[in-house]
Chain A
Amino acid sequence: MLQVEDLRVSFRTEEGEVKAVDGVSFSVEPGEILAVVGESGSGKSVTAMTLMGLTRSPNATFGGTAHFGGTELIGASEEQLRRIRGPEIAMIFQNPMTALNPVQRIGDQIVEQIRAHERVSRAAATERAVQLLARVGIPRPRELVRSYAHELSGGMRQRVMIGLALSCSPRLIIADEPTTALDVTIQAQILAELESLRADSDVSIILITHDLGVVSQVADRVLVMYGGRVVEQSDVDDLLDDPQHPYTWALLASVPRVDGEKPRRLASIAGSPPSLLRPPPGCHFSPRCPHRYDDCSNVPPLAAKLVAAPRHFDRCWLTAEDKLRLRSVDFERIGAK
């Protein structure tokens, strides 16, 4: 349904060109939840927003392709994109506190989207807004449709955002860290909400997150991004059982486990994310990688399929044997697995 090939996004800044997304390829099937994980600055949000044309600016240049249905998103005209935003692809943003207009009633914000795409009366659109609010679990929807964002809690606001995203029955929903700004208890509710969407319809979801716990809960496939590139991509179970890339190991090791036999020290990743102004010519993770060869920082590794799992890719120069050995050493050291 969505096919992204070699997507490149770079921004001209005063200090030079920043390659925020550097050759990203992936695809999303109908009804699939794809999780995109990575640290801040890994290019995951830029990738997602670029699909909707939200990163367009005079300072941005784009490369590669993104086929969605019959449309090529990267070169689409503003008007083409406008028609796609809402009825085809909808977006849920990270911070529900600021993503809703503070001076417009939440019902009106939903009505506004419906009426931007369909010829329906205000009353009919309002009625649909009420239904949507009810569907995403807003109590007393007929009353709260007239409320303002500040009158609702964070979790309620995020539900409104989900209702807004659903209002024109999109085929793809991009959720950019939808739970990051919320309390842990609310996070679970919102995730359950997203999962039930998928169960009700065959909507696909791209879930951007830095939380591997979230990934293991809801995702079908996972994309691990680092420094604007995809370093590993796989079905979720496979990734958790058999992670291939040293960066993925490090990510997994930094997640607290409640089912571990003995408490262990959480691992942190030494160093800081690469500057995308002057990234190393080779693997972007190489400066922080404990297992790098000299050549790692000079020659970028290619995406390699795993023999045992053909839907599992990673970009690393280590051989399969080395990975197996080094991974167990890594996990041993921090006392996981």
Chain B
Amino acid sequence: MFAISVFTFFIFQVIPNGDPALRLAGQSATPQTIAAIIKTWGFDKPVYVQYLDTMEKIFTGTVVSYSQQVNVLSQIQRGLPATISLALGAGVIWLFWGIVLGASSAVRAGRFTDRLLGVVALVGVSTPTFVVGAVSLYFFAYRVHIFPLSGYVPFFQDPWEWFMHLVLPWFSLSVVYIGFYSRVLRSNMLDALHEDFVRTARAKGLTQRRIWLNHVLRTSLIPVISLWGLDFAAVIGGGAILVEVVFNLDGVGEYAAESIMTLDIPPILVIVMYGAFLVVLVAALVDILYVVLDPRVRLNG
């Protein structure tokens, strides 16, 4: 966390044209106003003092952005419902379809279904998210008015509209992950197929279905679940920038995008730290979950 915050802070210190005082002052600013701004915001202090000041503001919740001078934390809080809604729905969709497609692919390994799914997954992984988003918007919102064009409606205001506004973002965000997860699961399962205990399962006279579900799939899912936890945390941490911008969801990711565009250091810093914190937190949760999923860990850990 500390390393990440330091790194992010200094990266934006050395970016050219990054002098925040100039941008705060506006285009027709006199040298006097610029000097006053430098004084009040403390831009004349040494870099490490500026860093410490910013950190103090972040942890006391008083940090404000350069551009509109609004409180960063409340901005993030405002964006969270949309981002969490996006992450929850998309996370369920991509985990479910990743498992379904990956498992079908593994069961039919080497045959037509497997090859077809392989191509589909490759296309899914290699199509940029914003292309999927834009194309789906064009067809399902602009040409045929099934779904609204953009925006976010809070769940408690109108659950149906909430759902309708999120279908396309969920789908667009999931495509890459489905492709990726299905391939990972497929290769895990094909590896598991050569395990001795799967041979034992076969020697026990179990049905194919049971061998696949109980022995191959179950052991192969464990790493996929931990992967899912991390990706899910990254989306909540504002990682789904492209989807949020394309669909104008006004979530944390979109806030991050705006801040980067205007080189607004405080929000960027806070979002990066918050994202990193989430990933670390979820990684710890996944470790705990592992104890439930994989009994071997109980002994070692």
Contacts and interface: CB of A to CB of B under 8 A. Distances in A.
B204 A113 contact: yes
Given A93-B200, A101-B197, A113 B206 contact: yes
B205 A87 contact: yes
Contact of A103 (B201, B206, B218, B299): B218
Interface SS of B by simple majority: helix
B68 interface: no
Contacts of A91: 200, 203
Interface residues of A, number: 32
Contact of A113 (B205, B218, B299): B205
Interface string A108-121: 01001100110000
A159 interface: no
B207 A148 contact: no
A251 B205 CA distance: 36
A103 B201 CA distance: 13
Nearest to A78: B208
B165 interface: no
A95 B200 CA distance: 11
Contacts of B219: 101-103
Contact of B295 (A52, A84, A103, A164): A103
Contacts of A117: 205
Interface residues of B, number: 24
Contact of B296 (A85, A103, A164): A103
A82 B205 CA distance: 4
Nearest to B208: A78
Interface centre among B195, B199, B293 (most CB of A within 10 A): B199
B291 to A, nearest CB: 12
B205 A93 contact: no
B44 interface: no
A160 to B, nearest CB: 11
Nearest to A88: B205
B204 A164 contact: yes
A150 B299 contact: yes
Contacts of B195: 98
A99 B199 CA distance: 8
A56 to B, nearest CB: 10
A151 B299 contact: yes
Interface in B198-256: 199-208, 210, 214-215, 218-219, 222
Given A54-B199, A91-B200, 6 more contacts: A82-B205, A85-B204, A98-B197, A112-B204, A112-B210, A113-B204
21 contacts: A82-B207, A83-B205, A85-B203, A85-B205, A86-B204, A91-B200, A91-B203, A93-B199, A95-B196, A99-B197, A99-B200, A100-B200, A101-B200, A102-B296, A103-B293, A113-B206, A150-B295, A150-B296, A151-B299, A161-B200, A164-B200
